[in-house]
Amino acid sequence: MLNKQEKDMPSRLIVAGTDTNVGKTIVSSLLVNKLDAHYWKPVQCGDLDTGGDSATIKKLSGIKENRIIPEAYRLKMPASPNQAAAAEGITIDKENLKLPNHAGALVVELAGGLMVPLRDDWLQIDQVKVWNLPIVLVARSGLGTLNHTLLSIEAMQNRNIRVHTIILNGEKHEANYRTLREIVSEKIDIEELDIQPI
């Protein structure tokens, strides 16, 4: 997906992670450039003083400000969205999480993992189902990734969410790559990167 041309590569997709700090923003920046896409981080929790992930995307990809769609929520606390919103006395409204009215290529980067609560009654994966875009799942390459990655895939498959690609990020771990290749459907591409999260 990142290193080759694909006829079936979606131009609108979601970058999800098996955890926080697995490299979603780096992968998002690579995809923004590859697809010549706009970027949207619906919910930013913490790092507001540095501009959050949108500022990192701008720095890494070199895209212009007009290709970065403003966040629906910019929350001060580096925590799950439900907790960060509660700390500011607000509740995340699903109506504010509608996909941007943008017809071209779009990369949507989630806040943390799929099962992170946006509200106490609405998980991030529930919102992903509403958006109905294919997923690029970013996971660590090393020890622990099999459980986190397979649980994430199972959660998406149980909701009929299409997983397009799994990206294992970090020092190469051939045994984990082979194990995932054997277990997951042939319809899911698996790639390896060795880029440390920022």
- Across 86-113, average pLDDT: 95
Number of structural domains (the chain) is 1
pTM exceeding the 0.85 threshold for the entire prediction: yes
CATH of the domain at 39: 3.40.50.300
For residue 10, is it within any domain? no
Residue 114 contacts residue 152 (beta carbons within 8 Å): yes
Question: Helix, strand, or coil here: 134?
Answer: coil
- Across 75-95, average pLDDT: 97
- Residue 162 CB burial class (10 angstroms; 0-12, 13-18, ≥19): middle
For residue 103, is it within any domain? yes
Who wins on pLDDT, 103 or 135? 135
Q: Is residue 192 very low, low, confident or very high in pLDDT (cuts 50, 70, 90)? A: confident
pLDDT tens for 28-45 read 999 999 999 999 999 999
For a pLDDT cut of 90, what percent of the chain falls above it?
74
For residue 198, is it within any domain? no
| Residue 109 structural domain | 16-193
* Residues recognised as catalytic: 41
Q: Report pLDDT for 81.
A: 97
